[in-house]
Structure 1
Amino acid sequence: MNEPLHAENPATKPVPRTLRYGQRCEVWVGSATTGSRERIFASDDLLLEAPNWTPDDSALILNGAGALWRLNMSSGSLAEVPLAGIPDLNNDHVLAPDGERIYLSANDGHIYRADIRGGNATRITAEDGYFHFLHGVSPDGRELAYVGMEAGKFTKPGRLMTMPSAGGPPASVDTGAGHCDGPEYSPDGEWIYLNTETFSSRPGHAQIARVRADGTGLDRMVHSGTVDWFPHISPDGQRASYLRFPAGTLGHPADLPVEIVTVSLDDWNAPLNTWALFGGQGTLNVNSWSPDSSRVAYAAYPVR
């Protein structure tokens, strides 16, 4: 979720993030099997966020400067995806299972659907008094999972919501009293993984959890002293990745020393890989596993 700037003033238009003086945007790919990692793209001008891997393994889809971008994996070339009928984007975007469509959250607080090649986008959320921050699409493509926040009231906890991907009335899923974020379906569609503050009395102490898609069986996955966000399940259902912030972090801010952690779904408390970087917001907001479940893509923002 990319929280709007100046949340105390709902009339203030959110502004897409830019690089700080002396800062660089880097896109990396880490191997979940060997632990090695490789930088595949860098820019001193454009801040890119939240890579999605296309199902054909040919490209990463990212947002930057309010637009959508396609990074070709073989050539390293970057091209804007031409979209119309949609405001500036934030970093919550997820490809449909068919790889032909993409669902996008925009800075007006709504969710849109568009062709992955570009064109006119269609808004699918209603004017219901909420901001809608998309994070998950069900494996059959029929349902979306998102975080609903009362418009302009970002001091209140976000709530897990689901809705038909074609549009329609939302349903609320109970995950307790704490703020939640990053809801994402498991590959079999039985679970929604998320981070939540429900299990802690410490402000901002987010932990990884899951709840059944029918709203039952809330279960904590990680017991840690760090602040853990954005669980992503590999397509084969064997591994997960998430973003680890330092203890005491409030929310998921930008420009901090953070770690990407990969684990086996059988044991979330025994990391398989831990990659340290300077980043946070924008690094791993959406699922960035490769189609073959062997690699994880992410963004870093080092300052020289």
Structure 2
Amino acid sequence: MADHQATTPAVTPPRAHVEDTGMRPRELRAGQRTCVWVASAESSTPSLVFETSDILLEAPNWSPDGNSLLLNGDGRLWRLNLDQRTDQLVEIALDGVPPINNDHVLSPDGHHMYVSGMDGHLYRAPLTGGTGTRLTDDDGTLHFLHGVSPDGRTLAYVQIPCGVEGAPGRLALMPAEGGRGYVVDTGKGHIDGPEYSPDGVWILLNSEAFTSVPGHAQIARLPAAGGPLDRLVNSETVDWFPHVSPDGRLATYVVFPAGTLGHPENLDVAVNLVATDDWQTPLATFPLFGGQGTLNVNSWAPDSRAFAFVSYPMADR
């Protein structure tokens, strides 16, 4: 694995105060680093493309032109240029948008970014930066974005009622232009990471519906048009955030240790690469120290030949 230290621009405070939700941008611990990796779909050895001890970056999306990654950090959106001859990390300014978390996706046409604000609302903003527009209503719930349909018309997100401790996340859909969402029945248990398959036929997610063991999330899918959950992976581990490659042949997801509740930070986890015709058998496994922020959103390259993820090593490990 390559190893180099990159220069990071100075980080200024977030633009706006986060109200009510209690969400705050994550920060690196003393002696901790952000390491951004790119892995080939044909190799078990990833490449370290960026490393910093200045800012905690999360959840890479790949830009439509294949030349950069888009990550959140310190409540802001950043472009990480993969051409190391240029300034690698550049902020994409989002005016009128509160600090964001690690739930963000690109519009299918590549012109906009949909982001989840730490105020619990969803926003759309130009991918090159500019003024954002709030899309969600004040409906008494928090909204955590994960998917947009291939035709660009529908957003898939996790809906959680405000102020209800321990309430499970529910799959919800809403118009991409904004408005009120509606909940889709996925049975009992928390769900997260709902994301459309490239052909728009399926919504993939992780669900706790298959077990009575608290937190035991497993990878599943359901028809986008409505229907029952189909379990794709049956494992002893806790599995989160399935992401299918643009050509539909491969997928990645994050593997947490058995007994994990939620998707916490700073654990020994792994990223699994699988073929979509056999989710049960990993083609490659990438162990790392991370979890939250490692692979929350789809990080496949446009040509389906590579994907990105993030680790957070500690100096004493």
Shorter-chain TM-score bucket reads over 0.9
1:116 aligns with 2:127: yes
- The residue aligned with 1:63 is 72
Whole-angstrom distance in 1 between the partners of 2:278 and 2:228: 18
Whole-angstrom distance in 1 between the partners of 2:131 and 2:137: 18
- The residue aligned with 2:43 is 34
Whole-angstrom distance in 2 between the partners of 1:26 and 1:37: 11
- The residue aligned with 1:127 is 138
Q: Residues 12, 186 of structure 1: CA spacing in aligned structure 2 closer, same or farther, 3 A cutoff?
A: closer
Whole-angstrom distance in 2 between the partners of 1:162 and 1:17: 27
Aligned pair partner of 2:202 in 191, 212, 230:
191
Shift of 1:169: 2.5
What value does the CA root-mean-square deviation take over the aligned residues?
A: 1.0
Q: Residues 160, 38 of structure 1: CA spacing in aligned structure 2 closer, same or farther, 3 A cutoff?
A: same
Whole-angstrom distance in 2 between the partners of 1:12 and 1:205: 25
Letter in structure 2 aligned against 1:194: L
**Divergent runs of 4+, >3 A:** 10-13
- The residue aligned with 1:21 is 30
Report the 3-state secondary structure (helix = DSSP H, G, I; strand = E; otherwise coil) of the residue aligned with 1:269. Answer: strand
Shift of 1:294: 1.2
Q: Which structure 2 residues correspond to residues 81-100 of structure 1 after superposition, within 5 A? A: 81-100=92-111
Q: Which structure 2 residues correspond to residues 1-304 of structure 1 after superposition, within 5 A? A: 11=20, 13-75=22-84, 77-304=88-315
Shift of 1:214: 1.7
Mean Cα deviation higher: 165-174 or 246-255: 165-174
Whole-angstrom distance in 2 between the partners of 1:36 and 1:300: 14
Q: Deviations over 1:253-282 (max 9, x none)?
A: 000000000100111111001000000000
Gaps of 5+ in 1: 1-9
Letter in structure 1 aligned against 2:174: M
Letter in structure 1 aligned against 2:161: E
* TM-score of the aligned structures, taking structure 2 as reference length: 0.91
Letter in structure 1 aligned against 2:303: D
Letter in structure 1 aligned against 2:259: G
Whole-angstrom distance in 1 between the partners of 2:114 and 2:90: 19
Shift of 1:12: 5.9
Report the 3-state secondary structure (helix = DSSP H, G, I; strand = E; otherwise coil) of the residue aligned with 2:236. Answer: coil
Asked if 1 retains the 8 angstrom alpha-carbon contact of 2:21 and 2:118, the reply is: no
Report the 3-state secondary structure (helix = DSSP H, G, I; strand = E; otherwise coil) of the residue aligned with 2:167. Answer: coil
Shift of 1:31: 1.1
Whole-angstrom distance in 2 between the partners of 1:83 and 1:50: 17
Mean Cα deviation higher: 31-40 or 184-193: 31-40
Report the 3-state secondary structure (helix = DSSP H, G, I; strand = E; otherwise coil) of the residue aligned with 1:270. Answer: strand
Q: Deviations over 1:16-61 (max 9, x none)?
A: 1000000000100011112221000001110000000011101100
Whole-angstrom distance in 2 between the partners of 1:13 and 1:187: 34
Gaps of 5+ in 2: 1-18
Whole-angstrom distance in 2 between the partners of 1:276 and 1:63: 22
Q: Deviations over 1:137-188 (max 9, x none)?
A: 1001110000000012240110000011001221211111110000000000
Report the 3-state secondary structure (helix = DSSP H, G, I; strand = E; otherwise coil) of the residue aligned with 1:60. Answer: strand
Whole-angstrom distance in 1 between the partners of 2:146 and 2:94: 20
* TM-score of the aligned structures, taking structure 1 as reference length: 0.95
- The residue aligned with 2:9 is none
